[in-house]
Structure formats: C-alpha cells, structure tokens
Amino acid sequence: MTKTAGTAIHSRRGNVDWGVAALLSAGSIPATVLTIWVLSLMPRENPGTADIISISTGAALVIAAVAIFFRRRIRNYALARAEDPARTQYSGPITIVLGALLGSLVSFCSVGAGALGVAVLFFLYPRLPPARVVGSDLAHAVPLTLIAGLGHWLIGGVDWHILGSLLLGSLPGIFVGSHLAAQIADRILLPILAIILLLIGLRLIAW
C-alpha cells in the first residue's frame, strides 16, 4: 500500500521508467512465487528456521547499508563502462536475473525492494536520472510486494494487528516523508539511513 502511493506520486511527475520496471518484474514475480512455495514447506515454529530468516534479514540490511554508503562509487564505476557494447546487449537479461534475486530476498526476509533495488538500477542504468531510478524501483516493488504479501497471507504468515499498526503510521509517513525528502540534502539523509540499516542488520545477525 505504501509503495503504491509512492509510485502514484512518482508516476505523476514522470519519474517511472516502465520498461525497466517490467524487466525487473519479469524476474522477481516468478522468483517470489517459488520462494513463497519453499517457505510454505518450512516449519515456522522451528528455531532453526527463525535463525535462518533473522540472519538472512540482517545480512540483507548490511548489504543495503553498504550499497548506500558506496552508491556514488557504484554509479561512477557503471558510468565509466556505460558505452561497453556487451553491457548494453546484456543489460535486459541481467536486469531480469537481478529482479529474480530481489524477488527471492523480499519474499524471504522483506528486504531488497528498496536500497538494494536502487543500487542495482544505478549499476545497470547509470545514465538514468536518480529520480527515475527511485520511481522505477518503487513501481517494480508494487506487484512484487503485493504477490509476496498475498503469498504470506495464504500460508498464514500475516499478523493483521501488526499490519494495521504499520499502516496507521506509514501512510501518513509517506506524505510527510515525500515533503521532507525534498528539503533534506542526500548527503545528510542517506548516511543516516545507512547507519540505521547497518545497526539493525548487525543486531539481527548477532541475535
């Protein structure tokens, strides 16, 4: 729901590359369905399963934090190789494969559709304006998180009280955040976000 609202805002501003979003979805949606099926076979009350999910979530958050810290280097590296014919030729298939990876991560530990998705797009499409990178990642995340959420609901993995509490805070938060983001410089906002992700990730790994 939150990503749908964000996508609508970016779409009105022309900040969504629907072709890129479609390529990511071509990989992420089948991967999401497969991952949900695998999760349905795993015993949810098993402490081992909880440990795997916790460590995987923590590792994904740490990777996301690193991607934010080095976002400029990632983009500069990609820009230096943007004219490589092989890169242009295979960018579509690579986008689908990385979409599948993001789909699996999101379905398994609810991490990947944000910072990691943006890092992937910066690397694959360095000439795409940052606003369109964010908008395209959000547009891709809508069907991905919808299918993943429905899948977890079907296998009994949704706590509706927690979901309701999250929506009460997040929906107004989108409105406030979309305005604050335009007022706060990225050099201040992004390091703070990366540090928060890093601390949470390390805490989950050491749980």
Q: What is the pLDDT of residue 147?
A: 93
> What is the distance between the alpha carbons of residues 104 and 110, in angstroms, rounded to a whole number?
9
User: Do 132 and 17 contact (CB within 8 A), yes or no?
Assistant: yes
Q: What is the pLDDT of residue 116?
A: 78
Helical packing angle, 160-180 and 2-12, nearest 10°: 30
User: Would the pTM count as exceeding 0.75?
Assistant: yes
Choose from 124-128, 149-153, 187-191 the range with maximum mean pLDDT: 149-153
Q: Which residue has the higher pLDDT, 5 or 162?
A: 162
Closest C-alpha to 39, from 56, 27, 25, 23: 56
> What is the distance between the alpha carbons of residues 157 and 179, in angstroms, rounded to a whole number?
33
Q: What is the pLDDT of residue 156?
A: 86
Q: What is the pLDDT of residue 79?
A: 74
> What is the distance between the alpha carbons of residues 85 and 93, in angstroms, rounded to a whole number?
14
Q: What is the pLDDT of residue 15?
A: 83
Summarised one tens digit per residue, pLDDT across range 83-117 is: 666 556 677 888 899 899 989 988 888 776 677 78
Neighbour count for residue 47 (Cβ, 10 Å): 8
Q: What is the pLDDT of residue 83?
A: 66
**Average pLDDT over every residue of 112-131:** 78
Locate 203 and state its tokens.
């805490």
Summarised one tens digit per residue, pLDDT across range 44-88 is: 667 777 778 788 888 888 888 888 888 778 777 777 766 666 556
Q: What is the pLDDT of residue 124?
A: 81
Summarised one tens digit per residue, pLDDT across range 6-57 is: 788 878 888 888 999 999 999 999 999 999 999 888 776 677 777 787 888 8
> What is the distance between the alpha carbons of residues 145 and 125, in angstroms, rounded to a whole number?
23
Q: What is the pLDDT of residue 84?
A: 64
Q: Side chain identity at 60, as an amino acid letter?
A: A
Q: Side chain identity at 119, as an amino acid letter?
A: A
Locate 191 and state its tokens.
């390091």
Locate 195 and state its tokens.
């540090």
> What is the distance between the alpha carbons of residues 172 and 5, in angstroms, rounded to a whole number?
11
Q: Which residue has the higher pLDDT, 179 or 33?
A: 33
Choose from 84-98, 111-125, 138-152, 163-177 the range with maximum mean pLDDT: 138-152
Closest C-alpha to 142, from 34, 24, 38, 39: 24
Q: What is the DSSP string of 15-41?
A: ---HHHHHHHHHHHHHHHHHHHHHHHH
Q: What is the pLDDT of residue 2?
A: 77
